Amino acid sequence: MASATEQRETDQVREIGHEEYDPVGTAILIGIYFLILVLLWLFMYFVEFLGNGPTVVGALLTVVGLA
């Protein structure tokens, strides 16, 4: 490891090591992000398909005889 890695932050009030650190807040934020992505995907379904125009999926279903 290079010598220029940061040693200590001045505002630090406690030292948390690798074993004792549990990034639960990160898990929550990432979970919220995934939820937003899922909701946006659902929203895109309405934008994409409710116009009832031709779509690639529709064409594919036609080709394989499903629609």
Binding site for another protein (CB under 8 A): 1-7, 9, 11-18, 21, 23-26, 28-30, 33, 36-37, 40-41, 44, 47-48, 55-57
The CB-of-59 to another protein minimum distance in angstroms stands at 9
The CB-of-20 to another protein minimum distance in angstroms stands at 10
Q: Which is nearer to another protein, 2 or 66 (CB)?
A: 2
Burial of 48 (0-12, 13-18, 19+ CB in 10 A): exposed
Report the alpha-carbon distance of residue 14 to residue 21 in Å, rounded: 12
Report the alpha-carbon distance of residue 24 to residue 26 in Å, rounded: 5
